């Protein structure tokens, strides 16, 4: 059974070019980047190159990139670091949206337990945050606003440019989780107007376990982890040279593929949605009226539970929008915030395409999903 992989928003395979670039630093070039001998200097140079590659992808200076273990650590460093540094007396306020990834939600909740004030703003029926709600929520004590660039479940792209103008006027910093948007659409930190931006390696064809945080020059953070002075003192610990090299190579590949990959992904997503709509009466698409990621289709299969539908097609790799436990369903935070009715959202399935997706895979997925739906809905 050959898997049909339509779960690129969950993780991407490591690109062969990325694997090849990493291999040297697992063997011959194994020096500690902090060492001053020849092997150490070789690792230092490789990390410097990777820092420049990531910076080039998002339009910033190389010294504004801090390497981390992944998107979760990057967002934790951004959120906890910015709020703690700006409000050491805990008289600080943080704003997040209701559609954020747990890597944003959980550090915000942790800060709330430490005494900081947190406001959660909602979204509309298409999963888009209203900038006016951000403006209404900002206080004189607001230190940070954190809104994702594009939602990982439904693909809705957020109006970050408008939100950044509101933050600048209020002297509040803006953090953006760009884990899902990077490599699919253009991400430029200056056009977006952000102060902090999260990068996750395994969403952009690099390995799991590596990421980066963009920190605009002049923005000060309190470290989350303490130790030696690696990564400008913000992320202590000996650098993971092979994985950093992998992330840098992946960033360079991503930059070279834009904007062509955006068009390719959008065409395949549209093929997928049109195919399903043509075969399944009553099927709906979440966030259909919003500007979306080109690769993401979040669809609701009427009358069925998404998890049960996917269980019947073990070769299809995809994600659901509602967790099913002991005969009950629990909506995702995003679908709940969008106001999707529970009887609709229980049938939600997220299908996300990637660089390697073929039209044949899409057509096969449509046929198998439609066949199972038709059988189950009759029975």
- Show which residues are catalytic: 324
d(CA 321, CA 354): 19
Chain centre to alpha carbon of residue 221: 21
Distance CA 204, CA 14 (A): 8
Closest among 354, 147, 119, 109 to 254, alpha carbons compared: 354
Contacts of 353 (CB under 8 A, 6+ apart): 6, 8, 265, 268, 269, 272, 295, 362
**Residue position matching structure tokens 């395949």:** 268
Structure-token pair, residue 216: 């605009």
Please say whether the beta carbons of 365 and 351 come within 8 A: yes
In three-state secondary structure terms, 325 is: strand
Q: How far is the C-alpha of 375 from the C-alpha of 32, rounded, in Å? A: 59
Strand ranges in the chain using DSSP code E only, listed in sequence order: 4-5, 65-68, 93-97, 117-121, 142-146, 173-177, 196-200, 211-215, 284-285, 296-300, 316-317, 319-320, 322-325, 328-331, 348-352
Closest by Cα among 300, 234, 257 to 69: 234
| Residues contacting 39, CB < 8 A, separation 6+ | 29, 30, 31, 32
In the chain, DSSP finds a helix count (H) and a strand count (E) of 13, 15
Cβ atoms of residues 300 and 344 within 8 Å: yes
Name the nearest CA neighbour of 4 among 364, 326, 376, 306. Answer: 364
């Amino acid at each position: 059974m050959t898997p049909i992989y339509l779960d690129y928003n969950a993780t991407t395979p490591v690109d062969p070019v990325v694997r090849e670039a990493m291999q040297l630093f697992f063997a011959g070039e194994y020096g500690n980047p902090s060492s001053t001998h020849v092997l150490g200097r070789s690792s230092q140079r490789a990390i410097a190159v990777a820092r420049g590659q990531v910076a080039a992808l998002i339009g910033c200076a190389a010294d504004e990139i801090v390497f981390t273990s992944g998107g979760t650590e990057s967002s934790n460093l951004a959120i906890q670091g910015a709020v703690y540094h700006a409000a050491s007396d805990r008289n600080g306020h943080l704003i997040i949206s209701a559609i954020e990834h747990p890597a944003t939600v959980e550090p915000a909740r942790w800060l709330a337990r430490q005494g900081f004030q947190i406001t959660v703003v909602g979204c509309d029926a298409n999963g888009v945050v209203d900038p006016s709600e951000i403006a209404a929520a900002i206080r004189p004590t607001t230190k940070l606003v954190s809104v994702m660039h594009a939602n990982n479940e439904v693909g809705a792209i957020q109006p970050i440019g408008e939100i950044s103008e509101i933050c600048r006027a209020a002297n509040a910093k803006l953090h953006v989780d760009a884990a899902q948007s990077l490599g699919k659409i253009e991400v430029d930190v200056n056009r977006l107007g952000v102060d902090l931006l999260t990068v996750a390696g395994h969403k952009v064809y690099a390995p799991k376990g590596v990421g980066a945080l963009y920190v605009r020059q002049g923005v000060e953070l309190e470290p989350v982890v303490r130790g030696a002075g690696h990564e400008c003192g913000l992320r202590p610990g000996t650098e993971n040279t092979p994985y950093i090299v992998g992330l840098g190579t992946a960033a360079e590949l991503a930059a070279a593929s834009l904007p062509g990959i955006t068009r390719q992904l959008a065409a395949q997503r549209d093929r997928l949605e049109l195919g399903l709509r043509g075969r399944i009466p009553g099927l709906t698409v979440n966030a259909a009226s919003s500007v979306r990621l080109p690769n993401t289709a979040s669809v609701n299969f009427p009358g069925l539970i998404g998890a049960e539908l996917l269980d019947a097609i073990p070769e299809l790799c995809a994600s659901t929008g509602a967790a099913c436990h002991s005969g009950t369903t629990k909506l995702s935070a995003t679908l709940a915030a969008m106001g999707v009715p529970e009887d609709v959202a229980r049938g939600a399935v997220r299908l996300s395409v990637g660089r390697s997706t073929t039209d044949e895979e899409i057509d096969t997925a449509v046929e198998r999903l439609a066949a199972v739906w038709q059988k189950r809905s009759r029975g």
